[in-house]
Chains A and B, each alone.
Chain A
Amino acid sequence: MIPFEMVEATSLKEALSMLDPQEPAIRPVAGGTALMLMMKAGVFQPTRLICLHRIEPEYARITLGASGELRIGAMASLREVEKDANVAARLPVLHRAMRTLSNVRVRNVARVGGALAHGDPHMDLPPILAALGARISVAGPKGERQLPLEQLYTGYYETVLDRNELITSVLVPPLNGRKAAYMKVTSRTADDWPSLGVAVSFALADGAIRDPIVVVSAATEKVTRMSGVEKVLQSTAPEDAALRRAGDAAADEVQTLSDAHGSAPYKRELLRVYLRRAVRQALNESVH
């Protein structure tokens, strides 16, 4: 890595003041596991990193609100999310995914806010949290704003965040009986970046799917909600023929990209099949 400067913010406010809306070579760093990979590859060459480790500890807390909403502080490590009793009990889909999302060492260090803000479409947390209907809280010089996580991404490694804004927390509503699942496919080794990620959540009423949220990642330029597939699934009984139609609709709805993890046509076929499997997995799991 080429030399740069690292400064340590001791509060969120100070961190925000250290960022520069016009300067891409100044960036915040949380766990640094993804950023260091980019720096080692020479893709990102900072002049200054703003370290967030010593901002107020409240930004690393995971708390349960009265309405059953979980607030996950952006500085919580992935391991803290994995070990949190409320996450395990209330959001089993998230708890389970943590084990497959990277190895123990990376999970000890990587932070939730970084995993979301990085904008890498191959990461697992964004599709899962988007399918759970999560919102994010974002702090900037003008104060705090909230937006649905699914609206964060605008392109490949691109988000709606300004350079002087920071995600402070993720707000995950309670499942309230909704079913949820996340499936990913890796084409080389189990711990490789995925070729495809599919996350689904839906309610079941009288044997029919209601209000589905379907999100695709990794195979596409950005984490993408598939509203066309959701329309196909809405009010249908999750039987083979219906799931097949939904899989076909998914393959038609998004443009998949070719990369080292698979060609675009290959990923399109994966999506066709794994959309069905994700819905089936959501149906089979015993969540409350």
Chain B
Amino acid sequence: MTAISFTLNGRPVSTDIEPHRNLVELLQRFDLFGSRESCGQGLCGCCTVLVDDKAVSGCLYFAVWVDGKRVATVEHLDADGRLSPVQQAFIDTGAFQCGFCTPGFILMAHQLLKEHPNPSDDDIRHYLSGNLCRCGAYPEIIEAVKLAAKATSKAAA
């Protein structure tokens, strides 16, 4: 067991964890299930988590490595009681069916819009190429990201 302390969705937390556990397993201990291990190989993006503002695959990230870091999951996005522009855009465009992959797509879209506030189609495809949606909602997801970009730039103006 290794003792770790980190910031989880804005709140300081401490726990003990075995070195062979990954970040998804750590989050489950805090009743956070938005990050899901699906392919287990970093390909599908369902386990996306932000560590120090960078998107990582939670299934390929040792839990002990978040010691001293800031961890954010999809659950932090509506912490103030309001959906984020990306979340709202996913609803407005119907960018999901079963919803299993949605948290990962939403966090990757947040990372994209932070780095490219007005993303091109190519930027969107590039950032989301590591996320798989087995319902095939890709056209709506791309629309959602564009809508969120518009909403965000309008809010900032």
Listed in ascending order, the chain A residues whose CB lies under 8 Å from chain B are 1-6, 32-33, 36-37, 39-40, 49, 51, 53, 79, 99, 102-106, 108-109, 190-191
Q: Which of B42-50, B70-78, B79-87, B143-151 contacts A (4 or more CB under 8 A)?
A: B42-50
Give complex CA distance A99, B126 in Å: 8
- B19 touching A104 by the CB < 8 A rule? no
B57 on the interface (CB 8 Å rule)? yes
* With A6-B2, A6-B62 as contacts: A104 and B130 at CB distance below 8 Å: yes
B133 on the interface (CB 8 Å rule)? no
- B57 touching A190 by the CB < 8 A rule? no
Give complex CA distance A49, B19 in Å: 9
* With A104-B127, A105-B48, A190-B129 as contacts: A53 and B55 at CB distance below 8 Å: no
**Interface band, chain B:** 20 to 34
Give complex CA distance A112, B103 in Å: 29
Chain B min CB distance to A73 (Å): 18
Interface of B is mostly: mixed
B8 on the interface (CB 8 Å rule)? no
Give complex CA distance A134, B97 in Å: 48
* With A5-B19, A105-B130 as contacts: A191 and B43 at CB distance below 8 Å: yes
- A6 touching B64 by the CB < 8 A rule? yes
Closest to A40 in B: B40
* With A2-B20, A6-B19, A191-B130 as contacts: A108 and B41 at CB distance below 8 Å: no
- B129 touching A37 by the CB < 8 A rule? no
7 closest A-B pairs by CB:
A103-B130, A6-B19, A1-B20, A108-B54, A105-B57, A105-B55, A33-B60
* With A6-B2, A103-B129, A191-B130 as contacts: A108 and B62 at CB distance below 8 Å: no
